[in-house]
A and B are shown apart, each in its own frame.
Chain A
């Protein structure tokens, strides 16, 4: 049963990822990206990682609309239907993709400790356990990601507004 569900959503994720890179229209690419994120979220549910799945939809799928508005529409030039231009540098693309694939495969295959929870996470106090972990063991990654997001936010404001020359 769960195998069937896995393949449905895995195929959905991969097929829409294919759509992201092949669409001629960049807005279509963005909406395909949202579909990919939904597929990945479903895979998280199958791994009994419900919280990550919900955050995946909240943060990534929800943010696609912001991406469309700010990244696509504010920078768009010419006809939308031909907005996603093809890149002819196949060699470099293949090299980068291959390298990335090899690195990820190495990490996955050499790390044998992949535990999947036998059943759904049954701890009653999900909120309390999560908060404790975030504010004790994972304090530094948590704060680092917060700083990173702030930097990205400030950077976006500066890119959009521009910096005055005389200062």
Chain B
């Protein structure tokens, strides 16, 4: 079991030893490139699996079979869809702002790539170790608003622009409770380093100490990736497909990849911050535990999506500013009081 647990690290060490000096700049560069390729593969694989899973979950919730024609139980459906998408014509609308129209999907895809690169997937298996992991993650994910606004504005379509505006309003509002709910964990661990936060959870996952923050983060996280019941950005019945209305073929596919990548990233951060990351009983390797927990969070997001109706836009804003934000501030207050009491009691009972 230990050998299986250490397998990725041993492979990395073996690749490094191919170089004369295993810590030369070229060895580091090669390892970085390999990590980035692995992250891209992770996003593409996640999208392929999650799209199928989403349709299966949708079928399960609404009591119909879901995709069931291609391959056993319809498992190859997404591959066929992806191939079809690649063959489609790439249309740029006549009045579009051409350069921005083309850059927006690339940014949308690059962002989850950048955020997933700092997540610790196992003990010592963060592709890039950053001392400021959370701050970096939040900074990068804040830029996705910009990509959606670019797409919405450059399409030269009123529905797209409305969707882009909604994206700005919604994502900026939900970013605040999202960040504030993570502050409780930072207060306990006193670090921004994601690997250190996972290591601090070896006795007790923070969902036990921070249940309120966990709930707030989960809700705000669903809103941050624009999924139902918070999918006002791309609400089909109201604004066609929001910022994606004018996109076709691979560019639209990039948005889709970016969206599922973002969903994976939010689930991965939830796992890291609240569920103890790769920590788990030694019956399975750490990275398997990590992906199991991510899978549970993603399944929960899908379950919510197909269970609840879309929320109205004024209720959406009200929920962020009048419910989630006070709750997350209350959580910060409670955490502070809790830490103070803990520091008072522990020296007395000799803990």
On A, residues with C-beta under 8 Å from B are 1, 27-28, 31, 34, 50-51, 54-55, 57-58, 61-62, 64-66, 68-69, 73, 120-121, 124-128
Pairs across A and B, CB under 8 Å, 21 listed: A34-B146, A50-B136, A51-B132, A51-B135, A54-B138, A55-B135, A55-B139, A61-B142, A61-B143, A62-B143, A65-B145, A68-B149, A68-B153, A69-B168, A120-B131, A126-B132, A126-B193, A127-B189, A127-B190, A127-B191, A128-B191
**What residues of chain B have their CB less than 8 Å away from a CB belonging to chain A?**
25, 97, 100, 130-132, 135-136, 138-140, 142-143, 145-146, 149-150, 153, 165, 168-169, 172, 175, 186, 189-193, 196
In contact, A121 and B131 (Cβ under 8 angstroms): yes
Chain B residues positioned under 8 Å from A51 (CB to CB): 132, 135
Q: In the assembled complex, which residues on chain B have CB atoms less than 8 Å from the CB atom of A126?
A: 131-132, 191-193
Residues of B within 8 A of A66 (CB): 168, 172
Interface residue SS majority, chain B: helix
- Please report the C-alpha to C-alpha distance between residue A27 and residue B131 in the assembled complex, in whole angstroms: 35
**Could you tell me the dominant secondary structure of chain A's interface residues?**
helix
Closest to A50 in B: B132
Given A66-B168, A126-B131, does the pair A31, B143 have CB atoms closer than 8 Å? no
| A27, A54, A66: residue with the most chain B Cβ atoms closer than 10 Å | A54
Q: How far is the CB of B228 from chain A (nearest CB, A)?
A: 23
- Smallest CB-CB separation from B169: which chain A residue? A69
Assess whether B192 is in contact with A69, with CB atoms less than 8 Å apart.
Answer: no
Cβ distance A44 to chain B, nearest Cβ, rounded Å: 12
Chain A residues in 8 Å Cβ range of B143: 57, 61-62
Nearest-CB residue, chain B, relative to A53: B139
Given contacts A27-B153, A121-B131, A127-B186, contact A65 B146 (CB under 8 A): yes
A54 and B172 CA atoms in complex are apart in Å by 17
Hey, which chain B residues are within 8 Å of A31, CB to CB? Answer: 100, 146, 150
Q: Chain A: which residue is nearest B138 at the CB level?
A: A58
Taking CB atoms, residues of chain B closer than 8 Å to A73 are 165
A136 to chain B, nearest CB (A): 16
CB distance from B324 to the nearest CB of A (A): 19
Cα(A69)–Cα(B143), bound, Å: 15
Cβ of B288 to closest chain A Cβ, rounded Å: 29
Chain A residue nearest in CB terms to B156: A80
Chain B residues with Cβ under 8 A from A34's Cβ?
146
From B25, B172, B191, A65 is in contact (CB under 8 Å) with B172
Cα–Cα, bound, A73→B162 (Å): 12
Contact B192 A57 (CB under 8 A): no
Smallest beta-carbon distance A88→chain B, Å = 27
A51-B172 Cα distance, complex, nearest whole Å: 21
CB-CB < 8 A to A55: which residues of B? 135, 139
A57 touches B142 (CB 8 A): yes
Bound-state CA distance A56–B148 (Å) is: 20
A50–B135 alpha-carbon span in the complex (Å): 10
Contacts of B132 in A (CB 8 A): 50-51, 54, 126
